[in-house]
């Protein structure tokens, strides 16, 4: 870890301007959109606090590679008045044997003095069993919470769907990763 | 997590920090490649967004003291960061945000949206024009929340640097404001020098003849970024 005189973090507060996030930025599959069926995955979820209440106007920033070696795609969205978010992503076609396919997620919002980071894994992928990041989460119940759930209701022709709910604090707390000391 | 140069995750009196900060351990990150990766897709920013004091050309100016804020964005080694995108947002001169989540009874200014964006130039410099925001009382959030908390005038800044890991979200304060001494957020940072890095400097040489007072504010992103075209 370095100790340069970096500017301290602060919360976004509750008034992050929604116009900063343009209408297309939830869609990381823009180019893949009209291509082969099954190439797109819809990702939905709800962000809640320690009391199970919706976290409103949190900003979720998502980045990923769909193919090893390509530039990272990224997008962002904010949570609705019911704490819900929605992304569309290309299905990763990773042949990387060292990692299971995963998404990087950063959460900013009111009450978060620093961003929270986690990774989202795909349901039913056998590589989850050997992924070193999942293995680093020593609590098996917590580890399982990083794998999204199938979302059959929202699957439709050409598009899969999965659900990843985020609990910021509490018994079912989402495991978060230490991105700030990893320097 | 106990870095005295950063705010703690939980700030006593700011109830949302207690409800939203994870209680569990932060698990180690095994591979930081995705933090060091370049953020290749750029966001298009209209140069007119640098001026928050008018909604569009020809419209009346927002009420309040016109100001200019300027500075450089640097990396941890003091090198300028070019092409960094800065998003800023703030309350109007009376202390009201134009946002559906702001319950304050203070009036909206019909000529002030309160947000804009700029991109740093080849020397890492940025500049924007706005009006000085007002302070405001933070609504009482119930048991566990401070009942007499006022936010000092501040401008929110969100910076996208060259990599995913260089992201910064912070707030800029104004020098000499009496509310600075009691603000829960600013004073949650234990290190005095770190607190002072959040307070802009009144800089008369930046002031403009049309009535804008100048403030200088530099920002330092985490990481080290090789400037392209630089000789090693």
Contacts of B117 in chain A (CB under 8 A): 20
A20 SS3 class: helix
Tens of pLDDT along A1-19? 444 689 999 999 999 999 9
Chain B, 93 to 122: residues with Cβ < 8 Å from chain A are 97, 99, 101-102, 114-115, 117
Residues of B labelled catalytic: 97, 136, 151, 154, 156
B192 SS3 class: helix
Q: What percent of chain B has pLDDT over 70?
A: 97
Cross-chain CB nearest to B7 (options A8, A49, A115): A8
Looking at the predicted structure, is the pLDDT value of residue A183 above 70?
Answer: no
The C-alpha angle B223, B165, B83, rounded to 5 degrees, equals 75
Of A108, A140, A107, A111, which is closest to residue A51 (Cα–Cα)?
A: A111
**What does DSSP assign to residue A48?**
E
Measured distance CA(B97)–CA(B138) in Å, rounded: 12
Tens of pLDDT along B183-218? 999 999 999 999 999 999 999 999 999 999 999 999
**What does DSSP assign to residue B193?**
H
Contacts of B85 in chain A (CB under 8 A): none
Measured distance CA(B103)–CA(B113) in Å, rounded: 16
The string of DSSP letters for B15-60 reads HHHHHHS--SPEEEPS--HHHHSB--SPPP--GGGGBTT-SSTTSP
Tens of pLDDT along A56-92? 999 999 999 888 788 899 999 999 999 999 999 998 8
Enumerate the β-bridge partners of residue A104.
A63, A119
Contact between A109 and B20 (Cβ < 8 Å): yes
The string of DSSP letters for A119-148 reads EEE-TT-GGGGG-HHHHT---HHHHHTTBP
Cross-chain CB nearest to A169 (options B23, B76, B97): B23
Contacts of B20 in chain A (CB under 8 A): 49-50, 55, 109-112, 168-169
Instruction: Give pLDDT, residue B162.
Output: 93
Question: B230 falls in which pLDDT band (50, 70, 90)?
Answer: very low
Measured distance CA(A134)–CA(A128) in Å, rounded: 7
What's the predicted TM-score (pTM) here?
A: 0.94
ipTM score of complex: 0.94
Of A176, A174, A171, which is closest to residue A163 (Cα–Cα)?
A: A174
Instruction: Give pLDDT, residue B70.
Output: 98
Tens of pLDDT along A146-161? 999 999 888 887 789 9
Q: B33, exposed or middle or buried, with CB in 10 Å at 0-12, 13-18, 19+?
A: exposed
Q: Is A71 on the interface with B (CB under 8 A)?
A: yes
Measured distance CA(B130)–CA(B133) in Å, rounded: 9
Contact between B206 and B29 (Cβ < 8 Å): no
Half-sphere exposure of residue B55: CA atoms within 13 angstroms, side-chain side: 11
Cross-chain CB nearest to B168 (options A9, A14, A142): A9
Looking at the predicted structure, is the pLDDT value of residue B5 above 70?
Answer: yes
Looking at the predicted structure, is the pLDDT value of residue B48 above 50?
Answer: yes
Instruction: Give pLDDT, residue B193.
Output: 96
Measured distance CA(A39)–CA(B20) in Å, rounded: 34
């Amino acid at each position: 870890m370095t100790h340069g005189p970096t500017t301290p973090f602060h919360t976004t507060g509750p008034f992050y301007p929604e116009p900063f996030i343009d209408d297309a930025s939830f869609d990381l599959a823009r180019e893949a959109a009209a291509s082969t069926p099954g190439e797109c995955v819809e990702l939905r979820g709800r962000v809640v606090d320690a009391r199970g209440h919706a976290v409103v106007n949190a900003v979720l920033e998502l980045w990923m590679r769909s193919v090893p070696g390509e530039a990272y795609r990224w997008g962002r969205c904010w949570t609705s008045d019911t704490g819900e978010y929605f992304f569309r992503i290309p299905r990763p076609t990773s042949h990387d044997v060292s990692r299971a396919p995963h998404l990087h997620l950063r959460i900013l919002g009111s009450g978060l003095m620093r961003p929270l980071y986690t990774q989202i894994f795909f349901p039913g992928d056998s590589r989850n069993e050997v992924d070193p990041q999942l293995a680093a989460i020593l609590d098996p119940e917590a580890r399982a919470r990083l794998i999204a759930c199938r979302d059959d209701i929202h699957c439709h022709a050409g598009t899969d769907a999965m659900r990843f709910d985020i609990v910021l604090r509490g018994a079912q707390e989402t495991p978060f990763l230490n991105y700030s000391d990893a320097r | 997590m106990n870095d005295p140069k950063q705010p703690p995750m939980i700030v006593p009196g700011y109830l949302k920090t207690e409800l939203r900060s994870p209680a569990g351990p932060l698990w180690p990150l095994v591979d930081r490649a995705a933090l060091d990766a370049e953020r290749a897709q750029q966001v298009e920013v209209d140069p007119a967004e640098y001026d928050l004091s008018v909604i569009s050309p020809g419209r009346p100016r927002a009420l309040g003291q016109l100001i200019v804020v300027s500075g450089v964005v640097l990396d941890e080694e003091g090198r300028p960061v070019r092409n960094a995108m800065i998003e800023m947002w703030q309350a109007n001169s009376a202390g009201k945000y134009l946002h559906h989540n702001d319950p304050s009874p203070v009036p909206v200014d019909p000529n002030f949206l309160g947000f804009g964006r700029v991109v740093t130039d080849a020397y890492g410099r940025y500049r924007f024009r706005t009006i000085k925001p007002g302070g405001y009382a933070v609504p009482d959030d119930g048991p566990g929340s401070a009942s007499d908390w006022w936010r000092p005038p501040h401008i929110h800044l969100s910076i996208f640097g060259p990599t995913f890991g260089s992201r910064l979200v912070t707030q800029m304060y104004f020098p000499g404001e009496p509310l600075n001494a009691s603000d829960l957020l600013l004073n949650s940072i234990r290190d005095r020098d770190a607190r002072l890095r959040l307070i802009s400097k009144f800089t008369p040489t930046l002031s403009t003849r049309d009535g804008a007072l100048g403030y200088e504010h530099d920002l330092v992103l985490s990481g080290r970024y090789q400037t392209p075209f630089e000789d090693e």
